[in-house]
Copies of this chain bind each other. A is one copy, B any other.
């Protein structure tokens, strides 16, 4: 098993082959898509072993995330071709100035270099991450989770065959075989070898990165997402949006965790909310949502009294914390105290309140009259995504191709001195 620093050095050494080979990138992606298709049986077999080994230890949701099918692999290959079809993020001239002294300064987008990603369970991240990195001119080092190890290895093998088919070094995609904490820490500490580290996983992994990383690192994912229902909201629409944001996929980071309701509509709206999320779901055999209520909400509908941490918890489950607020200002203040900066929404027909909310809420995505579930690279039109940044530096929200580039200033002169 190769040690992490050796893998990083090999990957970095391969980077040169990609510089100035921009024309080859799309060919490589096409070859990779073809190899994912032709290696489908081998990938499925590796995945079958992973799923078998995981069956006793993991729940259904997790097993579903882990499992590949011929359709999912076809989807993976299709995703690769979609990324190939996107505009090249390299070499864009972001600004051009000609100075009075004749210097021509071009701020030009360039790849970051070596991008490393630490991720869990879903093997399709392996293909997504590799392909986004390559399309943007980067080399990539992948460090997936133990439970998907065989699947990831098989996918990486197919990707590398594709790179070789296109005449590029297979080491452009590094693969860390060690799935221990140790290798994650080694990536965090590899200053000078990693240009960007993206931890994509639970809160514990993100925290370790923030505290220990000596390489540039982007915080992703944790989403305590709020929806605020203003007094002027269309309440029918509000019920649809809230049910969608909470229940369409409770395990993901853009799912709603907290609902804030304007006091003027609390008495009329909360009973309808309870009907929609609890009673009606029970009737039709869907999982009912557990409502954790602040005292003002609890005065109107039945539910669990909210505990101290309920407004600071990413439940990732059929649980919704509910509070009544005096208005948009209080909603904004609540969000400022409790949000993780991922996605928040206001439901309103009052333009002034919408403007106040979008101006004041300091999160990656701020919605007016739509579900928070749209915070996603595909839904934003970026192709697939490398993760969703909840920090403000460099990238915010879904990270697509542009977010995997930096820039440099290319300055052309004819002898200028200062």
A interface residues, Cβ below 8 angstroms from B: 16, 19-20, 97, 99, 103, 105, 110, 112-113, 191, 195-196, 210-211, 214, 216, 218, 234, 237, 240-241, 244-245, 248, 354, 358-360, 362-371, 373-375, 379-381, 391-394, 396-397, 406-418
Contacts and interface: CB of A to CB of B under 8 A. Distances in A.
Query: For the complex formed by this chain, how many copies does it contain in all?
Result: 2
Nearest to A373: B418
23 contacts: A16-B360, A19-B360, A20-B360, A97-B380, A97-B381, A99-B381, A110-B362, A113-B392, A211-B214, A244-B417, A358-B410, A364-B408, A366-B409, A366-B411, A367-B413, A368-B411, A368-B412, A370-B412, A371-B418, A374-B418, A396-B408, A396-B409, A397-B408
Contacts of A379: 99, 103, 418
B416 A371 contact: yes
Given A392-B112, A418-B244, A368 B408 contact: no
B418 A406 contact: no
Contact of A418 (B196, B248, B359, B414): B248
A411 B343 CA distance: 10
B19 A392 contact: no
A20 B359 contact: yes
**Which of A19, A237, A244, A413: most chain B CB closer than 10 A?**
A413
Given A373-B417, A415-B370, A416-B371, A406 B393 contact: yes
Contacts of A415: 234, 237, 240-241, 369-370
Contacts of A414: 237, 369-370
Contact of A365 (B373, B409, B418): B409
Given A195-B393, A248-B417, A248-B418, 20 more contacts: A16-B360, A20-B359, A103-B379, A110-B362, A112-B393, A191-B210, A196-B392, A211-B214, A216-B393, A240-B415, A240-B417, A244-B417, A365-B408, A367-B413, A368-B413, A369-B412, A370-B411, A370-B415, A375-B409, A394-B394
Contacts of A367: 411-413
Contact of A195 (B110, B218, B392): B392
A247 to B, nearest CB: 11
Contacts of A19: 359-360
Nearest to A417: B244
Interface centre among A20, A244, A379 (most CB of B within 10 A): A379
A416 B234 CA distance: 13
Given A367-B411, A394-B393, A416 B360 contact: no
Question: What 3 pairs across the A-B complex have the smallest Cβ distances?
Answer: A370-B413, A244-B417, A394-B394
Contacts of A105: 380-381
Contacts of A375: 409
A18 B21 CA distance: 47
A409 B380 contact: yes
A126 to B, nearest CB: 24
Given A99-B379, A103-B374, A210-B214, A369 B406 contact: no
A103 B393 CA distance: 26
B381 A417 contact: no
Given A391-B216, A392-B195, A413-B370, A362 B408 contact: yes
A373 B101 CA distance: 13
A271 B167 CA distance: 45
